[in-house]
Structure 1
Amino acid sequence: MPNFENLRKKAKQFKRWHQDRYYPVAAEIRHWLARYRHLDDQQILDLGFKLADAQELVAAQAGFESWAALKKGLTEMSATDQRKSASQPTLLDAQPQLFVDDIQAACDFYSQKLGFTIAFTYGEPPFYAQVVRGAARLNLRHVDMPAFHPELRQRERDILSATITLDDVKALFLEYTANSVPFHQPLRLEPWGARTFIVCDPDGNLIAFAG
């Protein structure tokens, strides 16, 4: 469970970043606070951004509709967490980072072909982005050289960049087939009982989908 004092510090940090005109914070503000979504980075940094706004952003990131709801929720959860060992942390999320040659082309592929939503892009021209579908988040990072040596790719053809699990893998496979998505491996039943297929993005990143 998040520590409330750490979340307070995080909100203050967001406010300082805005005051210091640290551009990456504009993308976070735009993504998490709906009233800023029609504004570009410069407009967001030109507007006032109070501590209450930063607290609202932190609450949204934690899945709460407001700072008050976050505070109440953490209080209620603490009673349950007290019965758990502090030495057994729970991992809540994982966000694979994919290396790509062209951020815009990668965003187009993941949004138009794979049905992801672009959470944000950053930079002019963009060199970093995040795409989201359901609970799956993929971070896209521009690189000028291939992340894997060509000889390694040639020798190890099934190196995965990410694995995404879902409840109905066949339905997604049919969706992607209809959308002419390039497959590295079609839908199949694995020896351990899972159904899987693998998609190859324009940069050669292999994304496995398993159910």
Structure 2
Amino acid sequence: MPNIENLRKQAKQYLRWHRDRHYPVAFQISSVLDRFRGLPDSEVLKMDFKLTDAQELVAKQYGFESWPALIKAMKPMTTTASTVSKAVIVAAEPQLFVANIEVACDFYVRKLGFKIAFSYGKPPFYAQVARDGARLNLRKVAGPVFDSGFRGRERDALSAVLTLNDAKPLFLEFQTAGVTFHQTLRTEPWGSRTFIIQDPDENLIGFAGAPTR
């Protein structure tokens, strides 16, 4: 666990991200702090967010009910010896290359139930789609995303893997929506149920549920 000074820096970083309208921090806030829970990312970024809110966010991420409780627990661990700052990974956002942002967004929204978090450019060249805890960044590239022989050489190469508590309900939802499956629902040797979909640019997205018992 980092020291008290690093925790303070982390809280200030969250505050800066909110001030700068950094969309990934909105998900962190709404998933942890009760008064922001269930709000769209855009609304979270419009709301008042103080240093005390950022400190509460940090505390709850470390399993404490409040900032004072976290600091109280940290004080016995504090020493005069120098410590090395430890970075904290707050989210992962796979980047998918697409030939047309609007077509890609339409697929992820209409077929997969994602929502558009943001879109940049006129015409758009970069966008982010989100569903629950998943964030996918879409980056426009010139020409086909994969060369003509790529899928022949790397038939099962995945662009991203999304984990969930149970894969079957989502598989059935996508099946009803007419999604193209690269691999239908199956149980892996280690017990996890998985399936893979293919987007309009041949990106393969894997979905993996918790192991069955």
TM-score by length of structure 2 reads 0.68
RMSD of equivalent CA atoms? 3.5
Once the two structures are TM-superposed, the CA of residue 6 in structure 1 deviates from its matched residue by: 5.7
| 8 Å Cα contact 1:127-1:141 kept in structure 2 | yes
Once the two structures are TM-superposed, the CA of residue 93 in structure 1 deviates from its matched residue by: 1.8
CA distance in 1, matches of 2:18, 2:103: 30
| 8 Å Cα contact 1:27-1:121 kept in structure 2 | no
Once the two structures are TM-superposed, the CA of residue 112 in structure 1 deviates from its matched residue by: 0.7
User: Please, which of 106, 109, 126 is the counterpart of residue 108 of structure 1?
Assistant: 106
CA distance in 1, matches of 2:23, 2:10: 21
Which amino acid letter does the alignment assign opposite residue 70 of structure 1? A
| 8 Å Cα contact 1:100-1:142 kept in structure 2 | yes
Identity of aligned residues (%): 44
CA distance in 1, matches of 2:56, 2:206: 39
Give the 5 Å matches for 1:56-75: 56=48, 59=49, 66-74=50-58, 75=67
Give the 5 Å matches for 1:22-101: 32-34=41-43, 56=48, 59=49, 66-74=50-58, 75=67, 76-80=69-73, 90-101=88-99
Matching residue of 1:119? 117
Give the number of aligned pairs. 178
Which amino acid letter does the alignment assign opposite residue 164 of structure 1? L
Which amino acid letter does the alignment assign opposite residue 191 of structure 1? P
CA distance in 2, matches of 1:135, 1:35: 15
| 8 Å Cα contact 2:99-2:145 kept in structure 1 | no
Once the two structures are TM-superposed, the CA of residue 145 in structure 1 deviates from its matched residue by: 3.0
User: Please, which of 154, 157, 165 is the counterpart of residue 155 of structure 2?
Assistant: 157
Which amino acid letter does the alignment assign opposite residue 70 of structure 2? M
| 8 Å Cα contact 1:27-1:122 kept in structure 2 | no
1:51-107 deviation digits (Å, cap 9, x = unpaired): xx7xx4xx5xxxxxx443223454343455675996765533211000001111111
